[in-house]
Structure 1
């Protein structure tokens, strides 16, 4: 068992709202909290807190409070911060929904989470309304932030002028958010994260990452994802930095926003690093303001990190975490430029880890020099989830009786506490930082009348990024090609979940118990990588 080389973090027994905004000084109120990267409109900390309080009051006036779940389907716009923190300030629980989800996927999350109110924006209203109708959320409970006929708007709620309510709950027990994750396998599950979980992880990041109040942080990674929610939306606001929001990634707009608003910190996922390292447009852009590029959500290759650092003349770091850990457990700190860029760095304060042999269950020995043998990474700390919503079996598989969370990732560790992720026990595919569950895609594929059997694994594309590949057994006599398979799956899933490659095979390898032998498919792929 190992712990962080840094002193333990102080984790106050406060709600997320009180921790982030309760200590705002008079001088902070006029500081810019959020810049809309599209329009340039600014929101000060004073304005943001005022809007949060008003929204909490409007929700409370409608009977929303402790015990209620409110869904949010919204891209990165300044109003997201008002809605998200207004929900938490009212004592309710926020369940954030992937902006790329289909109506079916949205409805599944609304049902599982038990959401009774729903916030969205007009561009996403068609899928939001379809999902709301399926689960019985009425139009007057479906708030369209920028306005739509027949629905309340954010302006409507704020203009009512209701005072924020008095709320009381135990931060260590009360759920702040219910993001959805596939965990180690299978369909998405609601991850129960308490106020203490989120407060702890922000406090741990304050002691580790190095953001300052003078920094401008580019917020292109989605707030609905735990990485954007904690590291951008919450951590940056706690540091009194300025967030510059982008509703989606577009390279030209990304480069323009960095240059125009002089972003100093750019949080990314590895696919953006590929563009920063290789795309010719980067050479024409003014990125001189960038001090740090910080990668997360999927492993960043060390050589790619070095290319970005050299091209932008900046520091490149990465961190590691999971939705189930709020999310951060490891980072490369700014004060350790000597650490290997392909590592995930050190444990955060107040975090413990074990590297456990998957066969014996014993802790892996750490040599005096070099890295240990690989083993499964286990994590324990105040940022670890309470469990999966209404799923005791999945919780027990992920979180043991001693509080250790079994990540499913295979890691090595050195004597001075530097960790590296080298493989995954779990079957999830990480496509551009998004989790893609093979089981979900396999279920869709098996719904095609011309597909007899199917299996999905992650393979690397030409840029070294993981993509979903389907191995398909066609029905006898079927006229089926790869394009038809890809198009069929695309009709049934969110864009990031689409199958990107297809190979036809005679039989899907399976164990005697019927489990797909993905290792055999990976071996086949390794033997014929171009297939």
Structure 2
């Protein structure tokens, strides 16, 4: 770790240069070299696929996309829960030189329509779960042309995914123009002022992250590893993990959801070596009695992200599993994956690690912009090869999240110590972290204000020992309104995906405390909660 001018830290050099080819071309080279090595295992069905299988199927997808007119710069959507099939259109899209847009299958119609309006996919690959909503969107937009369905199509207008596979398209050559600074993926941000934005990540962004995650000092992903794919593949964290695992040649064991015994049995049976998890599952590993019934000795490394992990939990889990440490990482969708990661050779409990290679970091006073020194808390800001190209179709939002020196303004409060270890201590952006999901209060407030009986509303986070945080709404009723708390909770639940529901409850209040400019004083609402506890 180097200290530059005026307290700007710089990570070390990369061990190997960033590949100077397209992401699709590099994936093609990697998959070709892995041959008949096992690439994927489905925990539920037991189905396995080799890297040769993945290559052949991905080429078939690329050939299909090309036949439907997909070219460089076009967008292809993937909206599905975890499955062996998920990665095939991802790689196929990159082979074709197009842009991949993963979407949450749990989105409501409103949320999905918004996300698709940003990326404008011409073709959508989806599971049966979001199919009804995608059909409705197809009827109201001009950009979506085809829907390809994993599983059983429900009408003739759908294309069965199986019908486009194994069509002997091994002569298809991946796109390899000068595209290192072109978008390869558009992912949905968490959103702090309402609905999500589309984060554009380039070929170079993702290839850089591959170098970081396969670096023995940081991600340390190895060809001999078995990685459990448990977290949602549509989310940036696991979306990039599956791509990087394919480049490295890791065996990926795919699980669709967390169930205690299935999770533990999978680790034991498949001798999983790598776990990429969120704090909720680390808490389970640290405290649940059932964990001791299973042999988890194959696990050599756990990386925890998405939310800060308390030092006590980290220590308990590491001791129980016989690990040197539970490594933490800090990152944003806007930074491709990670900005800091706990190194393998030194631990600082409670820290989110040190800067990844070739990345610069600084901490600034949020009022004055002054760059702060070690131990001084402020907004953490970063610049480096993993930082996004920008927000899709939103130049104003893009400009607003960078300072004059090109550093990404994260909106998170933290500090670093004398050894360059970063600690994230608070959030400026006020996102609610529910089981690793990021819930924007402003979006829930906007939904609440569409209810005819609600005059004003504010949403804050309340702590929960299992989920981390829960959304709680303060509501000002219209004069004479008789709406109940349960009715409001149901009203919101009908319009948002499960993590965004008002699980913290509803409190009726006479007025919402605000600044003269109309901004909600959430700290006053939190004090009100504490005074009534």
Q: Residue in 1 aligned with 2:440? A: 437
Give the C-alpha shift of residue 136 in structure 1.
Answer: 4.5
- Verify the 8 A CA contact 2:114 2:195 in the aligned structure 1: no
Q: Provide the aligned length of Structure 1 versus Structure 2.
A: 519
| Distance verdict in 2 for CA 1:96–1:443, change over 3 Å | same
- In the alignment, does 2:151 pair up with 1:146? yes
The one of 515, 520, 526 equivalent to 1:516 is: 520
- Verify the 8 A CA contact 1:222 1:228 in the aligned structure 2: yes
1:203 aligned counterpart, secondary structure: helix
Give the C-alpha shift of residue 483 in structure 1.
Answer: 2.3
The one of 205, 225, 228 equivalent to 1:197 is: 205
2:85 aligned counterpart, secondary structure: helix
The one of 218, 240, 244 equivalent to 2:249 is: 240
Q: Residue in 1 aligned with 2:4? A: none
CA deviation string 1:417-459 (max 9, x = no partner): 1000011111222222222111110011111222221001122
- Verify the 8 A CA contact 1:57 1:165 in the aligned structure 2: no
- In the alignment, does 2:529 pair up with 1:525? yes
Q: Residue in 1 aligned with 2:362? A: 354
Q: Residue in 2 aligned with 1:345? A: 353
The one of 133, 136, 157 equivalent to 1:130 is: 136
CA deviation string 1:1-31 (max 9, x = no partner): 00114556521222222233414565x2111
The one of 302, 327, 343 equivalent to 1:293 is: 302
- Verify the 8 A CA contact 2:22 2:175 in the aligned structure 1: no
Q: Distance in 2 between matches of 1:19 and 1:445?
A: 47
1:193 aligned counterpart, secondary structure: strand
Q: Residue in 2 aligned with 1:13? A: 20
1:355 aligned counterpart, secondary structure: strand
TM-score (norm 1): 0.93
- In the alignment, does 2:473 pair up with 1:478? no
1:10 aligned counterpart, secondary structure: coil
- In the alignment, does 2:194 pair up with 1:186? yes
- In the alignment, does 2:77 pair up with 1:71? yes
Q: Residue in 2 aligned with 1:229? A: 239
Give the C-alpha shift of residue 238 in structure 1.
Answer: 2.2
Q: Distance in 2 between matches of 1:124 and 1:21?
A: 30
Q: Distance in 1 between matches of 2:351 and 2:531?
A: 28
The one of 287, 290, 315 equivalent to 1:281 is: 290
CA root-mean-square deviation = 1.9
- Verify the 8 A CA contact 1:107 1:135 in the aligned structure 2: no
2:502 aligned counterpart, secondary structure: coil
Q: Distance in 1 between matches of 2:385 and 2:301?
A: 27
2:412 aligned counterpart, secondary structure: strand
- Verify the 8 A CA contact 2:82 2:232 in the aligned structure 1: yes
Q: Distance in 1 between matches of 2:82 and 2:305?
A: 18
Q: Distance in 2 between matches of 1:377 and 1:192?
A: 21
- Verify the 8 A CA contact 2:22 2:180 in the aligned structure 1: no
| Distance verdict in 2 for CA 1:246–1:294, change over 3 Å | same
Q: Residue in 1 aligned with 2:502? A: 499
- Verify the 8 A CA contact 1:387 1:399 in the aligned structure 2: no
Q: Distance in 1 between matches of 2:134 and 2:120?
A: 15
2:460 aligned counterpart, secondary structure: strand
Give the C-alpha shift of residue 192 in structure 1.
Answer: 0.8
1:34 aligned counterpart, secondary structure: strand
1:228 aligned counterpart, secondary structure: helix
The one of 97, 117, 140 equivalent to 2:103 is: 97
TM-score (norm 2): 0.93
| Distance verdict in 2 for CA 1:355–1:334, change over 3 Å | same
Q: Distance in 1 between matches of 2:15 and 2:65?
A: 37
- Verify the 8 A CA contact 1:468 1:498 in the aligned structure 2: yes
- Verify the 8 A CA contact 1:122 1:146 in the aligned structure 2: yes
1:95-494 paired onto structure 2 within 5 Å: 95-136=101-142, 141-148=146-153, 149-150=155-156, 151-162=158-169, 163-165=171-173, 167-207=175-215, 208-230=218-240, 232-314=241-323, 315-336=325-346, 338-340=347-349, 342-366=350-374, 372-463=375-466, 465-494=468-497
Give the C-alpha shift of residue 34 in structure 1.
Answer: 1.0
1:17-28 paired onto structure 2 within 5 Å: 17-24=24-31, 26=33, 28=34
| Distance verdict in 2 for CA 1:183–1:170, change over 3 Å | farther
Q: Distance in 2 between matches of 1:185 and 1:378?
A: 20
- Verify the 8 A CA contact 2:24 2:97 in the aligned structure 1: no
| Distance verdict in 2 for CA 1:24–1:107, change over 3 Å | closer
Q: Residue in 2 aligned with 1:369? A: none
Q: Distance in 2 between matches of 1:527 and 1:10?
A: 55
Q: Distance in 1 between matches of 2:141 and 2:312?
A: 48
Give the C-alpha shift of residue 252 in structure 1.
Answer: 2.7
Q: Distance in 1 between matches of 2:428 and 2:69?
A: 44
Q: Distance in 2 between matches of 1:394 and 1:509?
A: 27
2:517 aligned counterpart, secondary structure: coil
| Distance verdict in 2 for CA 1:6–1:131, change over 3 Å | same
- Verify the 8 A CA contact 1:457 1:468 in the aligned structure 2: yes
Runs of 4+ in 1 over 6 A off after TM superposition: none
Q: Distance in 1 between matches of 2:280 and 2:174?
A: 44
Q: Distance in 1 between matches of 2:14 and 2:275?
A: 27
| Distance verdict in 2 for CA 1:147–1:164, change over 3 Å | farther
